[in-house]
Amino acid sequence: MLTLAINLERSTDRRAALEAQFDRVGRTFQRFPAIEPLEVETHPGLDARRFRSLHNRAILKGELGCALSHKRCLELFLDGSESLCLVFEDDVRFDDSTFPTLDATVEWLAAHPDVRWHCINLSSAYRRRFRDLAEINGRRLRRSWQFPLLTSALLWNREGAAAFLAHLEATRIHTPVDNQLRAMLSRSGLGLSFDRPPVGLTHVESVIAPGTGPRSHATSLRNGWYDLRRRVPVYGWALWNSFRG
């Protein structure tokens, strides 16, 4: 299994913390230097107009860098021969049950080839529109028709990585990467997650994609309509797949 961890070159403290965590659990990883794009609004991989129409603002440099970093990780995965790929961001936190749960999940999926999937969110949960599949190490693995947000820890298979890259090629980046992944997987119904994520978070603000800062009340009201416009298709596909599945 290929294990990649996205980390900015200048974030040496996070890199050291990540290395210490992997050493503690006896695992190894390959560091992926996070992408910091020189161009943003004119980047060929970005649909800047669509982003503005969906979010009422321009994309942040960090948001684009985060999406491009995840995209490149999947390209590296498909360039190799591994059947699975773990992609971590550097804000993850492991405990003693993290990797035993991951190993048991991989074993269960291998034993149940009829369960089709593309990606598992390991660090975030969403408690609506799901169906439980199995009990694994005291956690419930579930099909998440409304895939959880946050991309801090993802497990991919090759079919899923190829599908997301094809999606990004066809539509370009037009929303933060976790929203774009949720939209694709809510449509396909091939996202999985856990009721209690096996990977925790350090709850520090992202360096690569920091928050947008405070907004005025008027802007928040306007963005309420933009939020609804973005979410309705996701809700619709998630409901449709939950009825079918």
**134: exposed, middle or buried (Cβ count in 10 Å: 0-12, 13-18, 19+):** middle
Residues 6+ apart with CB under 8 A from 55: 175, 223, 226, 230
Query: What is the distance, to the nearest Å, from the Cα of residue 50 to the centroid of all Cα atoms in its chain?
Result: 21
Output the domain CATH number for residue 240. 3.90.550.10
Residues 6+ apart with CB under 8 A from 39: none
Contact 60, 32 (CB under 8 A): no
Report the distance separating Cα 91 and Cα 17, nearest Å. Answer: 9
Q: Give me the long-range contacts of 22-30 (CB less than 8 A, separation at least 24).
A: 22/94, 24/94, 25/94, 25/96, 25/98, 25/99, 27/3, 27/99, 28/3, 29/3, 29/4, 29/5, 29/86, 29/88, 30/2, 30/3, 30/4, 30/5
Mean pLDDT by 10 residues, the chain (245 residues): 97 95 96 96 96 95 98 98 98 96 98 97 94 97 96 98 98 96 95 97 63 38 65 73 73
User: What pLDDT shows up at residue 102?
Assistant: 98
User: What pLDDT shows up at residue 3?
Assistant: 98
Contact 177, 66 (CB under 8 A): yes
Report the distance separating Cα 67 and Cα 89, nearest Å. Answer: 12
For the entire predicted model, the pTM comes to: 0.89
Report the distance separating Cα 163 and Cα 78, nearest Å. Answer: 11
What domain count does the chain have? 1
User: What pLDDT shows up at residue 225?
Assistant: 66
Range of the structural domain that residue 209 is part of: 2-244
Determine how many CB atoms are found less than 10 A away from the CB of residue 90. Answer: 24
For the chain, how are helix, strand and coil distributed in percent, rounded to 5?
Answer: 45, 20, 35
